[in-house]
């Protein structure tokens, strides 16, 4: 009689922010659907994001509650996570009846490469950015370019070792890189984290081959191995299980049913959806430009804005004027706080998406095939906007940065109107990318095959 195989078990360790947790949970759902047990390492404040999945995916999906670091800023948060969680996880794994064969951890958690070494298992990076953006980050922190004109924020920095040789003005380079210098603890921390990512066993991207093939190929060449998997877009079906897209990540100030009813009464591709993600707060001047542009444009819109939290104390935070909603009543809706973004973008009435170009938002706009209007403000967003507008041809550039390249309201209103044109080249390209994205996650699609290959590696590790 053949002895029964031990349950195959992997760890999934997200960075404790909703924009990082949600896509890794989406990946975990796909892994457990292939009969692999996944333990999600999560802190108590973020457990509600996981809770809806536990019943529908038990016993294959389980949480492990980690001590809460009680930190907000990136450097203190990740340092505290390492200090608190490394010994905790060593002890937990060593006493587990079915120890994990691998750990998949967020891009920000480079230190888990050392945890994986101590556990004698491989560490895979989960990238919340696309392959183009991560190629840029790896090149930046490995090769350490300098500003040729230290007094200028507009000096151009070329990355000729990356396909298509992207060029950026100095002010668009990662803030942690620009503002600190070697020897500074935070600068050294970010570089060490990136080098640990580069040296890790493999990497999993929430992207798909047809979208970023040239950068995926570059990543394999740059890393010197083929353990690079593109398994995205890892998004739930619009009306699928686990609540589908309506309450993904939170609840809205406007009920999803009311939003869908409002959209139902609008013509196809007549509405622009405006949202800058779960963390970005607009300044007063940005908010004034945006709301004036929406009003002047005359188009129908949904505007989702988030309010400040403790991170924004003392900062300039834009608010919507009291009479704005009254002036646009009938053609504009304002959502304060979280919005059901997938449900909105998937509605036939929505034709374009004004976005900060966070990678989650990029994918959520690509899948329904809307035209994207780009306004990046930091991190990987400039690279994502460059990909959308310059390489994919599926979007229009609206603005860049907080103050650097912000247009007048009348100019922005023209871009908004153009984004809803019926026969534009951008709309045609967006439809092509929608088709490619859906084919990638179909049963025989490229992303499904990549995920099968990844899980096959897990089973091979389990047999060692």
Q: What is the pLDDT of residues 30-80, one digit of tens each?
A: 999 999 999 999 999 999 999 888 888 988 999 999 999 988 888 999 999
Q: In 3-state terms, the chain is what percent helix, strand and coil (to 5)?
A: 45, 15, 40
Provide the sign of the torsion angle of the four alpha carbons 194, 401, 15, 232, taken in this order.
negative
Axis-axis angle for helices 209-223, 131-143 (nearest 10): 30
Whether 208 and 277 map to the same domain: the answer is: no
Instruction: Assess whether 181 and 320 both reside in one domain.
Output: no
Sequence-distant (≥ 6) Cβ neighbours of residue 183 within 8 angstroms: none
- Catalytic residue list contains 347: no
92 and 216 belong to one structural domain: yes
Assess whether 383 and 297 both reside in one domain: yes
Q: Which CATH number goes with the domain that contains 196?
A: 3.40.50.2000
User: From the candidates 20, 85, 347, 356, which is the catalytic residue?
Assistant: 20
What does each C-alpha distance from 99 to 7, 94, 102, 116 come to in angstroms?
9, 7, 9, 12
- 155 occurs within a structural domain: no
> What is the pLDDT, as a whole number, of residue 307?
66
Q: How many CB atoms lie within 10 A of CB 237?
A: 12
Largest distance between two CA atoms of the chain? 77
Domain shared by 218 and 88, yes or no: yes
Q: Is residue 435 part of a domain?
A: yes
Does residue 152 belong to any structural domain of this protein? Answer: no
For residue 315, tell me if it sits in a domain.
Answer: yes
* Number of structural domains in the chain: 2
| Confidence class for position 369, pLDDT limits 50, 70, 90 | very high
Alpha-helical segments (H) within 298-408: 324-327, 341-345, 359-366, 381-386
pTM here is 0.92
Q: Which of 189-203, 222-236, 318-332 has the lowest mean pLDDT?
A: 318-332
Co-location of 202 and 323 in the same domain: no
Average pLDDT (177-197) is: 90
Claim to verify: residue 428 and residue 457 sit in the same structural domain: no
95-148 residue pLDDT tens: 999 999 999 999 999 999 999 999 999 999 999 889 999 999 999 999 999 999
Question: pLDDT tens for residues 309-343?
Answer: 555 555 777 788 878 988 999 899 999 888 899 99
Domain assignment present for residue 142? The answer is no
Whether 44 is in a domain gets the answer: yes
Domain extent, residue 59, equals 9-134+163-232+444-462
Q: Does residue 340 lie within any of the structural domains?
A: yes
Whether residue 285 sits in one domain with residue 260 = yes
The residue annotated as part of the active site, out of 9, 57, 85, 106, is 106
Q: Give the other-Cβ count within 10 Å of 289's Cβ.
A: 23
Active site residue 106: yes
């Amino acid at each position: 009689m053949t002895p029964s195989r031990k349950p195959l078990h992997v760890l999934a360790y997200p960075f404790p922010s909703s924009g990082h947790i949600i896509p890794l949970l989406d990946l975990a759902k796909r892994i457990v659907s292939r009969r692999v047990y996944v333990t999600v390492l999560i802190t108590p404040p973020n457990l509600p994001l996981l809770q809806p999945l536990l019943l529908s995916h038990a016993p294959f999906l389980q949480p492990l509650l980690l001590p809460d670091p009680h930190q907000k800023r990136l450097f203190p948060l990740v340092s505290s996570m390492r200090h608190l969680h490394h010994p905790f996880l060593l002890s937990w794994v060593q006493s587990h009846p079915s120890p994990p064969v691998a750990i998949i951890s967020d891009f920000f958690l480079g230190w888990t490469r050392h945890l994986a070494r101590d556990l004698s298992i491989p560490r895979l990076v989960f990238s919340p950015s696309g392959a183009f953006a991560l190629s840029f980050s790896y090149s930046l922190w490995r090769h350490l370019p300098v500003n040729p004109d230290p007094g200028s924020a507009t000096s151009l920095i070329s990355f000729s070792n990356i396909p298509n040789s992207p060029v950026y003005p100095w002010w668009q380079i990662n803030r942690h890189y620009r503002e600190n210098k070697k020897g500074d603890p935070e600068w050294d921390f970010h570089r060490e984290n990136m080098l640990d990512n580069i040296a890790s066993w493999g990497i999993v991207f929430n992207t798909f081959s047809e979208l970023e093939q040239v950068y995926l190929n570059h990543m394999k060449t740059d890393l010197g191995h083929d353990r690079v998997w593109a398994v995205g877009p890892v998004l739930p079906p619009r009306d699928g299980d686990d609540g589908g897209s309506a309450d993904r990540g939170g609840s809205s100030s406007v009920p999803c049913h009311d939003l869908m009813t409002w959209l139902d009464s609008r013509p196809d591709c007549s509405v622009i959806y405006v949202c800058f993600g779960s963390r970005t707060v607009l300044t007063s001047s940005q908010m004034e430009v945006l709301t004036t542009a929406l009003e002047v444009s005359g188009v129908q819109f949904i505007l989702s804005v988030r309010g400040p939290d403790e991170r924004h104390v003392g900062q300039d935070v834009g608010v919507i004027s009291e009479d704005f909603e009254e002036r646009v009543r009938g053609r504009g809706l304002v959502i304060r706080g979280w919005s059901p973004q997938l449900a909105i973008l998937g509605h036939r009435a929505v034709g374009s998406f004004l976005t900060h170009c966070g990678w989650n938002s990029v994918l959520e706009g690509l899948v329904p095939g809307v035209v994207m209007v780009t306004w990046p403000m930091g991190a990987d967003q400039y690279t994502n906007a460059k990909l959308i507008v310059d390489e994919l041809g599926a979007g229009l550039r609206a603005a860049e940065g907080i103050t650097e390249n912000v247009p007048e309201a009348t100019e922005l209103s023209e871009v908004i109107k153009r984004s809803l044109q019926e026969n534009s080249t951008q709309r045609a390209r967006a439809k092509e990318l929608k088709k490619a994205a859906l084919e990638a996650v179909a049963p025989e699609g490229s992303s499904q095959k990549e995920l099968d290959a990844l899980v096959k590696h897990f089973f091979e590790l389990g047999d060692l």
